[in-house]
Amino acid sequence: MQSKEDLRDKKIRELYSLLEKAYQGGGQNRIDEQHSKGKLTARERIEVLLDKGTFRELDAFAHHHSSQFGLDKHIYLGDGVVTGYGTINNRKVFVYSQDFTVLGGSLASEHGRKICKIMDIAMKIGCPIIGLNDSGGARVQEGVISLGAYADIFLRNTLASGVIPQISVIMGPCAGGAVYSPAITDFIIMVKKTSYMFVTGPKVVKTVTHEDFTSEELGGAEVHATKSGVAHFTAENDIEALEIVIKLLSYLPSNNAEDPPFVPTSDPYDRVDESLNYIVPENPNHPYDMRDIIYKIADNGEFLEIHKDWAENIIVGFIRLGGRSIGVVANQPAVLAGVLDINSSRKAGRFVRFCDCFNIPLLVLVDVPGFMPGADQEWGGIITNGAKLLYAFCEATVPKVTVITRKAYGGAYDVMNSKHIRGDFNFAWPTAELAVMGAKGAVEIIFKKEIEKAEDKEKRQQELIDEFNERFANPYISASYGYIDEVIEPKFTRQRLIDAFNLLENKIDTNPRKKHGNIPL
């Protein structure tokens, strides 16, 4: 007869035996296959992402209970996903990591239930949730139950939106219904060459449309970073993707009731940069890179750009000013003269709404000649898409500071956080031009008859353009109406911005009570 001590030891050995079985996932052969593709395993990814020794796993012993199509012969502890919590830079986060070595990481009832459990807990305690996606999709053997598990996750993604930050890292296949969970989350990071996303795969596309694509061509990281805008970041490998998550989280609060982390800096708040006085070209038609301004004013010249390779005529991302996390929206005169079009409006509009959700102040750098003209833009819905950005700025109640560096023409002047849509501080450089349109277009409309009657039409037109520029190509008329709060010397921009955001630290603004608005989607 066994003693109580022997029985207890046996049970403890059983515990560790089962844990060892869970840690093995689909077995060493499948782990080796995962490594051969340049991919880390689900657990290795968590080890890289979280602070060392902080991960606490939940539901390690969960498994499916299905016997359909021989599934009873393929039972793995964990059911193809590792879930739990830990810390990143000493801040609590929840994480799930799909295990492709187990049934291809396919999602079914237990797999989905595990993800939903940590999402529910994360919502209750206000922690970010990070999903590491590497899955063959729905587990076909479980049929509609798998689809229900996906929908359970989609609902929680939607309820968590604007409450806790949600980050999706695509580290393998992500197809069919699986793509909609990442699409609802705040940020998507894709790994080049090893990840892809699409609603229907290459075989279905070829059957239906007769177009022949590889998975990479149809939905790889480069495609979604440059063409669709689905991916916010791309990474060369798994480790770089996880490092992006860590850096991104450093700018974000844990939930919508907190302020973003404050990071003390040795970069002087009153640092002067003389080069800013000369960064805008004398010729108003010459381009310059707005990133140069961002780097020069940011703490230690650090800028985390988002959607870098999509809709490049506008720039969005995070900097710090005097230690504060700040969301930047900036026209990019080096690309399409910084014009607003469909994609740039969508890109900036969603970013503005994210910052507003999570109490991140907004800095808006303006050099915009207007909205993109053309039939493609009109037929593609520039009206409603441009209105998305307008709506986002109007709705936002976080501190909002604008600096007009050069052009602010037409409706785009209004949209880019003008004073009229609750811009808190609106500054302009002496090079700023605020008008309905550029001098040439304005003169051709206002003085059309006078130009036609002139003996030397070109000379008279140029005289009128010069006169128009002298009168209107400056910020002082707008300043006289209070549309510009202050015209500042460019070299002092950093100091004035930090002063402004410090002053706005306790700003309170509200929108009318309502269930929610009806943004022009």
pLDDT in tens, 198-230: 998 899 999 999 999 999 999 999 999 999 999
pLDDT in tens, 52-70: 999 999 999 988 767 676 6
With CA atoms as reference, report the closest residue to 231 among 389, 137, 347. Answer: 347
Helix (H, G, I), strand (E, B) or coil at 303: coil
Q: Which residue has the tokens 């002082």?
A: 476
> In angstroms, what CA-CA distances link 312 with 213, 316, 343, 392, 451?
26, 9, 9, 19, 38
Same fold, 4-249 and 274-432+475-503: yes
pLDDT in tens, 225-250: 999 999 999 999 999 999 999 999 99
Model-wide pTM > 0.75: yes
pLDDT in tens, 308-336: 999 999 999 999 999 999 999 999 999 99
Residue 495: which H helix or E strand, with range? Answer: helix 493-503
> In angstroms, what CA-CA distances link 225 with 122, 137, 235?
29, 22, 11
Q: Which residue has the tokens 């830079």?
A: 89
% of the chain with per-residue pLDDT over 90: 77
HSE-CB for 439 with a 13 A CA cutoff? 17
The fold adopted by the segment(s) 274-432+475-503 is 2-enoyl-CoA Hydratase; Chain A, domain 1 (3.90.226)
User: Would you list the domain boundaries of the chain?
Assistant: 4-249, 274-432+475-503, 437-473
With CA atoms as reference, report the closest residue to 507 among 439, 424, 444, 436. Answer: 424
CATH classification code of 4-249: 3.90.226.10
Tokens for 373, please give them. Answer: 């003209």
pLDDT in tens, 273-321: 999 999 999 988 899 999 999 999 999 999 999 999 999 999 999 999 9
pLDDT at 362 over 90: yes
Task: Supply the residues annotated as catalytic.
Answer: 176-177, 411-412
> Most confidently modeled of 11-20, 405-414, 436-445?
405-414
Q: Report the mean per-residue pLDDT for the chain.
A: 93
